[in-house]
Amino acid sequence: MMRTMLYTLLLLLPLCANADEKAKALLDKAVAQVEASMPMTMTFHYEMYDDAGSLQMTDDGSVTISGRDKYNVSLSFMKIWCDGTRQWSYMAHTNEIYITSPDSEDGLRFSPLYMMQLYKNGYESTLTTSGNNNIVELKAIGPADIDMLKLTIDSATLQMKSAQLYMPEGRIDITVKAYDKKIKVADGNFICPLNEYTDAEIIDMVN
């Protein structure tokens, strides 16, 4: 369930080839704006519910993206760094760091490019408006990890304000707190500082 949330955060706004024309046009513009704003950081609040609607977890986090192949994610239970050639995933509960290749099966699970390919097929979408917001609703055509995804996008800025992910095992609500665009970020921010995790077990799945 958390992996599904990270998929959405890394992409910010997925593309859907099966979208109706108005929804697709809106998403195209929103994604283009995100790309033009990089490097950027998004801070967010999330809430996780089980299939009965009971709140299971709530926390804050952030994601920084520089282009399509450099990103880092910071959550209370996990941190991810990717510099385009290596990806490091730190799991706090096990104190382990997994090193993978961004184009490996494990690495692609957190890749923005992978998510764009994932959402290009298998979903149909509708676009509605509510006040100053556009609501894009994507529904899976067949079996999928995410049954439905709702995106609330500001009509004026084209920024995502919130997302709701509906899955068989429950729901995740994500609320964007702030965007910091066109930031200056060193390449080192996308590399795991292994010297800060000297007691962690390193699991190298590349070498």
Give the angle 163-9-131 at the CA atoms, nearest 5°.
Answer: 30
Sequence letter at residue 142: G
Q: Which domains does the chain have, with CATH numbers?
A: 2-204 (2.50.20.10)
Cα distances (Å, whole numbers) of residue 55 to 4, 32, 50, 51, 94: 17, 34, 7, 10, 24
pTM for this model (two decimals): 0.80
| Short-list 50, 23, 17, 6, CA closest to 166 | 50
Looking at the chain, list the stretches that DSSP marks H as alpha helix, in order from N- to C-terminal side.
2-11, 21-36, 105-108, 112-118
pLDDT in tens, the chain (207 residues): 555 555 555 554 444 444 567 777 777 777 777 778 888 898 999 899 999 999 999 999 998 888 777 888 898 888 999 998 899 999 999 999 999 887 765 555 555 444 444 445 677 888 899 999 999 888 888 887 778 888 898 999 888 899 888 888 899 898 999 999 899 999 999 999 999 999 999 999 887
Quote the CA–CA distance of 39 and 16 in Å, as a whole number: 24
- Residue reference for tokens 């996308």: 190
